[in-house]
């Protein structure tokens, strides 16, 4: 298999991972980023410190007694003076901590309903159920996709239940597809209005995610088509997250039916019970028939990402691009490594989800002996010029024979 892939100039306009406060064992509401918005910054959004206090107070009034039933004391904190653009959940003994950083609230894309969603997401890490993070340090915490699903399907419905939701929605710009789906699945006017608020809150936060990464805006009518081979614990791509918010919003299972702490199908819209709407998207979730968070049934490798994204735009490739991948699901089939393949500029692979390298539109591929981690792509050294590239991975055994099929592609757009 061909080694190193050729040269070019420029800079990736993405926020690469950096140390900082996190949500669960290294995971924030957004992937770690180096953006910092102090209280005295110019061109701030419209949310005030008092607004954050009001959001946290309202969520606390609903969920503090619920969390007590889980053996915890819910503590919500407004870290207004801290400019980090993120939020976090962690535990200190029996204290179930949720912290919102001021930088996130001050970002010009953040809205009040978006802030409610972020807070509900962090509460979801504590009580959102299965699937949970697999690593030991996070075994108590619902994973990122599950926390997103819980936030809109359970938490926002409880928090918004007694609002004048119809009046609130009448003053909002609601996506037509959202309005149609919410009215179809929720005949009750108040419930339909909550559905719309929740879905649009999901749009607010994922549009902010797109803004942070200089990516294309998410869309309700173009869901992520990726299919994971095992449940993905970390941050899904932001389009995938919007899909989760939308599906969770239209699910018509009552918010009074708790999501199962062991059975992920309990209290949800799920495929095992015949639902074809409101289900967790396959771009992060591998369905199960009972307990547990996923399996290895699909032969298609999980899509590689950068900070949870599957599409990146850039204008200068002198900065290294860390491509995250996880092919551990194929270890039982003999996988001990992976091959990464990159397309020629402005072309697509001729054999998507195949098991052989592309004979026409490939720049080449490389093999490495691990099944999960990060591949550091240096575009100025490894790519031949400006343009759009497709990047994909596949598991291999010790004979460098493919195990399973190539992933869906990570798209990289390099432009002047």
The mean pLDDT values, 10 residues at a time, for the chain of 416 residues are 31 28 53 88 90 98 96 97 95 94 96 98 95 71 96 98 98 98 97 98 94 87 90 92 98 92 91 92 84 50 84 83 89 88 93 87 90 91 92 91 90 88
What would the pLDDT profile of 293-331 be if each residue is shown by its tens digit? 443 345 788 889 887 778 888 888 788 899 999 898 888
pLDDT tens digits, 8-48: 222 222 222 222 233 444 347 988 778 899 999 987 889 99
Instruction: Output the pLDDT for position 289.
Output: 61
How many angstroms separate the Cα of 254 from the Cα of each of 121, 268, 279, 281, 317?
Answer: 18, 9, 14, 19, 48
- Token pair of 188, please? 């009750």
**CB of 298 closer than 8 Å to CB of 286:** yes
DSSP β-ladder status, 73-79 and 95-101: parallel
**Per-residue model confidence (pLDDT) at position 359:** 87
Of 396, 399, 306, residue with least CA distance to 356: 396
pLDDT at 135: 61
* Rounded Cα distance, 100 and 144, in Å: 16
Instruction: Give the domains, in start order, of the chain with CATH numbers.
Output: 49-273 (no CATH), 311-414 (2.60.40)
Residues 6+ apart with CB under 8 A from 333: 296, 395, 403, 404
Q: What is the pLDDT of residue 298?
A: 55
**Cis link prior to 413 (omega < 30° from 0)?**
no
CA distances from 336 to 11, 205, 270, 393 (A): 33, 37, 33, 13
Alpha carbon 140 to chain centroid distance? Answer: 19
According to the 3-state scheme, what is the secondary structure of the chain?
CCCCCCCCCCECCCCCCCCCCCCECCECCCCCCCCECCCCCCCCCCCCHHHHHHHHHHHHHHHHHHHHCCCCEEEEEEECCCCECCEEEEEECCEEEEEEEHHHHHCCCCCHHHHHHHHHHHHHHHHCCCCECCCHHHCCCECHHHHHHHHHHHHHHHHHCCCCHHHHHHCCCCCHHHHHHHHHHCCCHHHHHHHHHHHHHHHHHHHHHHHHHCCCCCCCCCCCCCCCCCCCCCCCCHHHHHHHHHHHHHCCCCCCCCCCCCCCCCCCCCHHHCCCCCCCCCCCCCCCCCCCCCCCCCCECCCCEECCECEEEECECCCCEEEEEECHHHHHHCCCEEEEEEECCCCCCCCCCCCCCCCCCEEEEEEECCCEEEEEECHHHHCCCCEEEEEEEEEECCCCCEECECCCCEEEEECC
Q: What is the rounded CA–CA span in Å between residue 329 and residue 9? A: 36
Strands 95-101 and 87-92 turn out to be antiparallel
Q: Is residue 397 within 8 Å of 336, Cβ to Cβ?
A: yes
Rg of the chain over all Cα atoms, to the nearest angstrom: 21
The C-alpha atoms of residue 68 and residue 309 are separated, in whole angstroms, by 36
pTM score of the predicted model: 0.69
Q: Using CA of residue 160, residue 161, residue 167, residue 170, what is the dihedral sign?
A: positive
- Joined together, the tokens standing for residue 333 give 């089939």
């Amino acid at each position: 298999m061909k080694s190193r892939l050729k040269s070019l100039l420029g800079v990736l306009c993405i926020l690469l991972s950096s140390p900082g406060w996190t949500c669960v064992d290294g995971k924030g509401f957004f992937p770690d980023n180096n953006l910092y918005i102090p209280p005295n910054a110019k061109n701030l959004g419209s949310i005030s410190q008092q607004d954050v206090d009001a959001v946290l107070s309202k969520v606390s009034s609903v969920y503090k007694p619920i969390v007590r039933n889980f053996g915890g004391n819910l503590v919500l904190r407004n870290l207004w003076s801290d400019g980090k653009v993120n939020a976090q959940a962690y535990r200190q003994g029996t204290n179930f901590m949720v912290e919102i950083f001021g930088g996130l609230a001050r970002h010009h894309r953040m809205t009040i309903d978006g802030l409610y969603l972020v807070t509900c997401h962090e509460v979801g890490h504590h009580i959102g159920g299965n699937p949970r993070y697999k690593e030991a340090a996070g075994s108590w915490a619902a994973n990122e996709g599950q926390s997103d699903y819980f936030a809109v399907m359970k938490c926002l419905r409880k928090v918004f239940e007694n609002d004048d939701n119809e009046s609130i929605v009448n003053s909002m710009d609601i996506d037509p597809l959202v309005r149609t789906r919410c009215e179809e699945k929720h005949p009750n006017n108040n419930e339909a209005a909550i559905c719309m608020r929740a879905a649009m809150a999901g749009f607010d936060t994922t549009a902010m995610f797109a803004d942070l990464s200089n990516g294309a805006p998410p869309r309700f009518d173009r869901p992520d088509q990726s299919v994971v081979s095992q449940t993905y614990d970390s941050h899904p791509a932001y389009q995938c997250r919007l899909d989760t918010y939308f599906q969770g919003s239209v699910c018509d299972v009552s918010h009074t039916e708790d999501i199962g702490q062991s059975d992920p199908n309990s209290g949800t819209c799920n495929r095992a019970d015949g639902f074809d709407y409101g289900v967790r998207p396959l771009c992060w979730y591998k369905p199960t028939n009972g307990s547990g968070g996923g399996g290895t049934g699909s032969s298609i490798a999980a899509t590689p990402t950068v900070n949870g994204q599957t599409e990146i735009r850039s204008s200068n490739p002198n900065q290294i691009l860390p491509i995250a991948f996880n092919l551990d699901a194929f270890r039982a089939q003999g996988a001990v490594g992976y091959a990464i393949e990159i397309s020629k500029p402005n072309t697509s692979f001729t054999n998507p989800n195949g098991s052989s390298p592309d004979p026409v539109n490939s720049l080449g591929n490389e093999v490495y002996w691990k099944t999960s981690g990060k591949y550091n792509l240096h575009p100025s050294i490894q790519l031949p010029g400006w343009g759009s590239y497709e990047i994909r991975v596949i598991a291999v055994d010790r004979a460098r024979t493919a195990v399973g099929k190539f992933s869906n592609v990570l798209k990289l757009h390099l432009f002047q």
